[in-house]
Structure 1
Amino acid sequence: MDANQEERSNPFNMDEACTNCELCEHRERVVHGYGDVGAEFLFVGEMPSAGADETGVPFTDDSAGERLQDILGQLGLSDSAPDATEPELENAFLTYLTRCHHSERSPTDGEIMTCEPYLNAEIRMINPEILIPVGERALTEIATEYTTKPASEIDIADDHATTIRGRGFELVPMIHPGDQTDEQTAAFVEAFLDLMGNDYRQTKGRQGR
């Protein structure tokens, strides 16, 4: 699977007509990952919002998405306004556990498992330094897969904006933007700027790109 370096939306050309689970009956479109394929920072949410289902771009077209895009701008990872539907991201990639929106419920464990190959392929191809689970469900799934610490010992409120050592990655959990207070947003930005100023690459012993 080769990346289209010039294409931000679904750069790995994943199936946009997927019918592998029940979620496909409720979506407007499949929402695969979006952003810089050489990113060091990969943000993972639970499932597309109604806004993302409309635009096809993760974390866009609603208030929660605008808060996240504003955070990316403060971190120097976006050159676009928070309400952009096709943000110009640099060194960041946005994606989800599952790829289809459901207006009435969260995805089941089985639906997350069905979509897991998409996420695993994106992580493998991008090979980021830092994984940012966005929201409690994303944190549980990412922690289970990529840390040796029991997911039950990790709490999204307690571990928001902290660094957790993972297997091959570091994790920096984020409370879902739709649930964040202004103080929690400021805390995340401050902590992440500090992380970006440190040698986080020592996690894998890699050199700068």
Structure 2
Amino acid sequence: MDAEQESLANPFSMDASCENCAALCDARSTLVHGYGDVGGEFLFVAERPHSGADRTGVPFTGDAAGERLQSILGELGFSRSPPDADEPDLQNVFLTYLTRCRHPERGPSDEEVRTCEPYLNAEIRMINPEIIVPIGQRTLDALATDYTTNRPGDVDVAEAHATTVRGRGFELVPMVDLETQSDEQTAAFVDHLLENVFSRDYRQTKGRRGR
């Protein structure tokens, strides 16, 4: 972690009381901005906060979906805390969402995704990751449109799960939704990073900023 980073939670001090989407503001428990190492080479992005994150305010915590991802991060050496931690101790990875608020009865609308887009774009620009992990089809479509030559629907997340897709200046490693992800799919994702990504330069640059 960069020496000047004071907190893993919302390290870029983004608006913690955003009220740009009235329907989401009325339904959310809390607003969930990004969390993690601002010098991280890996960025994990899902469509919206899961139910646990809506309660804790920390991405991918507080429920079964969060525990699955935190377990993956532990296996990859990105987390130094147990999978059920509400404030994970992370290194070399940043966690965030397309949208920062959760509606308990529906996913975000296209307009809500567009409204939140500047938050995600700013995080990507400031972190400048080597690898982005889009979680779920909606996230893959959004990132593929903005950061690759693919159009929405060109890449199926189930088929691309645990593979590498070339982007502009970085690579995407798609992941199927955590809520429906099988143990076999989790193992395949971990194996792909360990055997095909970490075997390249990314492992050598881990810790390069005094983490």
Question: With structure 2 as the length reference, what TM-score do the two structures score?
Answer: 0.92
| Aligned AA (1:106) | G
CA deviation profile, 1:48-105 (whole Å, cap 9, x unmatched): 1121011100011010110000000000000010000100000000000000011000
Task: Say yes or no: does 1:52 pair with 2:38.
Answer: no
| SS of residue paired to 1:168 | coil
Task: Say yes or no: does 1:171 pair with 2:178.
Answer: no
CA deviation profile, 1:149-173 (whole Å, cap 9, x unmatched): 2232200100001000011110000
- For the 8 Å contact 1:164–1:171, the answer to whether it is kept is yes
Q: How many aligned residue pairs are there? A: 201
Task: Say yes or no: does 1:61 pair with 2:65.
Answer: no
Deviation of the 1:4 alpha carbon: 6.0
| SS of residue paired to 1:177 | coil
| Aligned AA (1:165) | R
Query: What corresponds to 1:180 in structure 2?
Result: 181
- For the 8 Å contact 2:148–2:166, the answer to whether it is kept is yes
What is the aligned-residue RMSD (CA, Å)?
A: 1.5
Structure 1 range deviating more: 108-117 or 133-142: 133-142
- For the 8 Å contact 2:10–2:33, the answer to whether it is kept is yes
| Aligned AA (1:118) | Y
Instruction: Give the whole-Å Cα distance in 2 for the aligned partners of 1:149 and 1:177.
Output: 23
| Aligned AA (1:5) | Q
- For the 8 Å contact 1:4–1:12, the answer to whether it is kept is no
Query: What corresponds to 2:18 in structure 1?
Result: 18
CA deviation profile, 1:175-209 (whole Å, cap 9, x unmatched): 112111111000000001121121359xxxxxx65
Structure 1 range deviating more: 147-156 or 13-22: 147-156
| Aligned AA (2:36) | G
Instruction: Give the whole-Å Cα distance in 1 for the aligned partners of 2:4 and 2:142.
Output: 28
| SS of residue paired to 2:96 | strand
Query: What corresponds to 1:113 in structure 2?
Result: 114
Identity between Structure 1 and Structure 2 (%): 64
| Aligned AA (2:181) | Q
Task: Say yes or no: does 1:162 pair with 2:163.
Answer: yes
- For the 8 Å contact 1:160–1:175, the answer to whether it is kept is yes
| SS of residue paired to 2:133 | strand
- For the 8 Å contact 2:141–2:151, the answer to whether it is kept is no
**What stretches of structure 1 of length at least 5 have no aligned partner?**
202-207
The 1:189/1:108 distance shift into structure 2, 3 A limit, reads same
CA deviation profile, 1:26-60 (whole Å, cap 9, x unmatched): 11111000000000000000001121011100011
Query: What corresponds to 2:153 in structure 1?
Result: 152
Instruction: Give the whole-Å Cα distance in 2 for the aligned partners of 1:4 and 1:29.
Output: 26
| Aligned AA (2:48) | M
| SS of residue paired to 2:198 | helix
Instruction: Give the whole-Å Cα distance in 2 for the aligned partners of 1:48 and 1:184.
Output: 21
Question: With structure 1 as the length reference, what TM-score do the two structures score?
Answer: 0.93
Query: What corresponds to 1:196 in structure 2?
Result: 198
